[in-house]
C-alpha cells in the first residue's frame, strides 16, 4: 500500500505456544496503558493517527543509484535465569541470518505458495549486523508483559545507544508470550524487540518451540518497529493501512489451506503467508510491496530510525564473560542525510562543549543531547551563528550523543562528560 499512517503508539504482539489458546494480541490494551500514563504521548497518538500520505523509496531525492541497501546495527541482550537460557553466540547469529534473509527476500521459502500475490511480493532491502551481545543473569524466572527486561534496575538490561542501534532483548516471557515490539515514536530506551528465548533463532540443535523455530517471531516484531500493522488491522476486516494486502477476517493460526478465503468485502484470498499474520513460522515468508513502502516512510521520517540506519557496523568480534562486542568501524552510508560541516570540541569535557559549523551562518538548528540509554537530557535551538557553546556541566559522568538537525540534514556526534 502507498497510504501511510504515522503511528506513534505501541503495538505489542503476543504469540501463544499452546495452539488451543488463540488470544495472542494485546495491542489495544497496550495503547490504552501508554496513553493513560503519558498525556503527551496520548496527544501525539491522537494527532499522528490523522497524518496520512503516499510514500515510496522513489520519493527520496537523488538518483536511483544512491538508493543502496541499508544495514542496521543490532545489540542483543541475553537475559537468563537458568544456564540453558543463556543461549549461544551461534543461536544469536542464526537469528541475524534469518533477519538478513527475510528482509532481503533471499529466504528459501520466499517463492512458496503466494495465493496469487506474486506481483506484490516485496523486498525490504535491509540487512542487519550483530554489533554486541550482552549477557546478564537475572533473578526473574520470566518477565511477561512489561518492559522490565529493558532496565538494569528492574532485573533487565539497559538499552545500548538506542539512537544508533536496534536493541533486541531475549528472555523467558512465560508459556504464552512469544514477543512484542513498539511502533516508532515510543521513548528511545523502550524501542526495539523483545523475544522469548525459545523462539529466538533457527536450528534443530536449539531449544525452540516447534511451531516457532525458524526465527519469524523476530522478523514479525521488527516489522512493527518499522510501523507495520498486523495484516487484519487488529479488528475484524480491519485495515493495516497497506493497499496491496487483502482484508482479513482475523489473524490466521497454524498453516491455513491453499485457497483460504476471507469473508470480508470481496471475499479475497487471504495473505496468511505474510510476516505480519500469526501463522506458524514455516507458513510466513514474505512482506508485500506496500509494506515495503510503509516501512520506508518510517525509516526516512522517524528521527530514531533515521539515526539508527545512519550508524555503523563492523566485523571483528571479541568476547568476555558478560559481553560480546563487534567493533564499530564501517560507516553505513546508504540513505545518508548527514553532512560533515559540524565539529564539536572538546570531546571529553567537564563543562563547556563547543559546536563549530563550517557554513558562514546557520539559519536554524535543533540541538538534542541524549544519554547512552537514549534519554533526552538537553534541548536547545540556535540560529544565525557558526559557533555556539553548550553548558553540559550538570550532566553526570558518561557518554552522550549530540544530535543537530537542520531541515532534512541531521548530524550526530559523541562526547564524554568527565568531572
User: Distance between CA atoms of 352 and 241, rounded to whole angstroms?
Assistant: 47
Chain centroid offset of residue 204 CA: 27
Query: Domain for residue 248, yes or no?
Result: yes
Determine, yes or no, domain membership for 234: yes
Grid cell digits, residue 125: 532491502
Which CATH number characterizes residue 366's domain? 2.60.40.3080
**Contact present, 181 and 193 (Cβ < 8 Å):** yes
Sign of the C-alpha dihedral computed for residues 297, 298, 302 and 305 taken in this order: negative
Other C-beta atoms within 10 Å of 237: how many? Answer: 14
Q: Which three cell numbers stand for residue 70?
A: 541499508
Taking all residues of the chain, what is their mean pLDDT, rounded to a whole number? 79
Question: pLDDT > 70: what percent of the chain?
Answer: 75
Segments in 288-340 forming alpha helices (H):
289-301, 303-309
Q: Kindly report, residue by residue over 356-409, the tens digit of the pLDDT.
A: 877 655 677 888 888 866 777 888 888 777 778 888 888 888 888 888 877 656
Q: How many domains does the chain have?
A: 2
Assigned domain for 133 exists: yes
The answer to whether residues 117 and 59 touch, using CB atoms and an 8 Å cutoff, is no
In DSSP terms, 195 is beta-bridged to 170, 179
92 domain-assigned: yes
Domain shared by 397 and 295, yes or no:
no
Alpha-carbon distance of 171 to 132, in angstroms, equals 16
Do 298 and 379 fall into the same domain? no
Residue 173 Cα to chain centre, angstroms:
19
Cell of 152: 538494569
Query: What DSSP string describes 309-333?
Result: HTSEE---EEE-SSEEEE---EE--
- The domain boundary residue, chosen from 313, 330, 360: 313
Torsion on CA atoms 183, 63, 117, 110, rounded to nearest 10: -80
The per-residue pLDDT for 66 is 41
CA distances from 139 to 77, 81, 197, 200 (A): 15, 6, 16, 21
Give me the residues paired with residue 410 across strands.
405
- Please tell me the distance from the alpha carbon of residue 18 to that of residue 10, in angstroms, as a whole number: 25
**Which region among 29-38, 48-57, 215-224, 274-283 has the lowest average model confidence (pLDDT)?**
48-57
CA-based end-to-end distance of the chain = 52
251 and 383 share a domain?
A: no
Same domain, 307 and 343: no
pLDDT for 4-45, tens place per residue? 333 333 444 444 444 434 334 344 456 457 667 877 767 655
Q: Is residue 320 in some structural domain?
A: no
- Distance CA(96)–CA(75), nearest Å, equals 11
Question: Do 244 and 370 fall into the same domain?
Answer: no
Within a domain: 100: yes
Q: What tens digit of pLDDT does each residue of 55-90 get?
A: 555 444 333 334 457 899 999 999 999 999 999 999
Beta-bridged to residue 135, according to DSSP, are: 78
Set of cell numbers at residue 174 = 512465560
* CATH number for the domain that contains residue 113: 3.40.390.10
The answer to whether residues 212 and 274 belong to one domain is yes
Lowest mean pLDDT among 109-118, 190-199, 258-267, 376-385: 376-385
Identify whether 215 is part of a domain: yes
Residues that are catalytic: 221
Query: CA-based angle 240:241:245, to the nearest 5?
Result: 65
Strands 70-80 and 126-137: parallel
Do 194 and 278 belong to one domain? Answer: yes
Residue count of the chain: 419
Q: Are residues 279 and 398 in the same domain?
A: no
Q: What is the pLDDT of residue 416?
A: 83
Cβ(88)–Cβ(202) below 8 Å: no
Residue 265 and residue 407 share a domain = no
Residues 349 and 234 in one domain: no
For residues 273 and 355, membership in a common domain is answered with no
The parent domain of residue 190 ranges over 3-313
Shared-domain flag, residues 389 and 282:
no
Q: What is the mean pLDDT of residues 134-157?
A: 92
Q: Is 193 contained in some domain?
A: yes
Mean pLDDT computed over 192-216: 93
C-alpha 204/C-alpha 271 separation (Å) is 28
Amino acid at each position: 500500500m502507498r497510504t501511510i499512517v504515522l503511528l506513534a503508539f505501541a503495538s505489542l504482539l503476543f504469540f501463544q505456544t499452546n495452539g488451543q489458546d488463540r488470544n495472542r494480541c494485546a495491542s489495544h490494551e497496550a495503547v490504552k496503558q501508554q496513553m493513560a500514563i503519558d498525556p503527551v504521548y496520548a496527544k501525539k497518538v491522537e494527532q499522528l493517527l490523522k497524518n496520512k500520505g503516499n510514500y515510496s523509496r522513489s520519493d527520496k531525492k537523488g538518483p536511483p543509484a544512491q538508493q543502496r541497501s541499508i544495514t542496521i546495527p543490532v545489540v542483543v541482550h541475553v537475559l537468563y535465569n537458568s544456564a540453558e537460557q543463556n543461549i549461544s553466540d551461534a543461536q544469536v547469529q542464526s537469528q541475524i541470518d534469518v533477519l538478513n534473509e527475510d528482509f532481503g527476500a533471499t529466504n528459501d521459502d520466499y517463492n512458496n505458495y503466494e495465493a496469487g500475490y506474486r506481483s506484490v511480493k516485496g523486498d525490504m532491502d535491509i540487512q542487519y549486523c550483530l554489533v554486541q551481545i550482552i549477557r546478564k543473569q537475572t533473578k526473574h524466572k520470566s518477565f511477561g508483559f512489561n518492559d522490565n527486561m529493558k532496565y538494569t534496575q528492574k532485573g533487565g538490561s539497559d538499552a545500548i545507544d538506542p539512537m544508533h542501534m536496534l536493541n533486541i532483548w531475549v528472555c523467558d516471557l512465560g508459556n504464552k508470550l512469544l514477543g512484542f515490539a513498539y511502533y516508532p515514536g515510543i521513548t528511545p530506551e523502550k524501542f526495539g524487540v523483545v523475544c522469548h528465548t525459545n523462539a529466538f533463532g533457527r536450528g534443530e540443535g536449539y531449544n525452540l518451540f516447534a511451531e516457532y523455530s525458524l526465527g519469524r517471531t523476530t522478523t514479525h516484531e521488527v516489522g512493527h518497529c518499522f510501523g507495520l500493522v498486523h495484516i487484519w488491522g487488529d479488528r475484524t476486516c480491519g485495515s493495516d493501512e497497506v493497499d496491496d494486502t487483502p482484508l482479513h477476517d482475523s489473524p490466521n493460526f497454524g498453516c491455513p489451506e491453499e485457497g483460504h478465503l476471507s469473508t470480508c468485502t470481496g471475499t479475497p484470498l487471504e495473505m496468511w503467508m505474510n510476516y505480519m499474520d500469526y501463522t506458524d513460522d514455516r507458513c510466513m515468508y514474505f512482506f508485500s510491496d506496500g509494506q515495503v513502502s510503509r516501512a520506508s516512510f518510517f525509516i526516512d521520517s522517524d528521527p530514531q530510525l533515521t539515526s539508527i540506519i545512519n550508524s555503523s557496523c563492523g566485523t571483528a568480534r571479541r568476547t568476555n564473560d558478560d559481553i560480546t562486542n563487534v567493533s564499530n568501524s564501517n560507516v553505513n552510508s546508504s540513505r545518508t542525510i548527514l553532512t560533515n560541516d559540524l565539529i564539536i570540541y572538546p570531546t571529553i569535557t567537564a563543562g563547556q562543549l563547543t559546536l563549530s559549523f563550517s557554513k558562514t551562518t546557520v539559519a536554524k538548528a535543533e540541538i538534542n543531547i541524549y544519554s547512552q540509554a537514549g534519554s533526552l537530557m538537553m534541548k536547545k535551538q540556535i540560529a544565525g551563528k557558526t559557533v555556539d557553546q553548550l553548558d553540559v556541566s550538570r550532566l553526570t559522568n558518561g557518554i552522550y550523543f549530540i544530535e543537530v538537525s537542520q531541515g532534512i540534514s541531521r548530524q550526530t556526534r559523541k562526547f564524554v562528560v568527565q568531572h
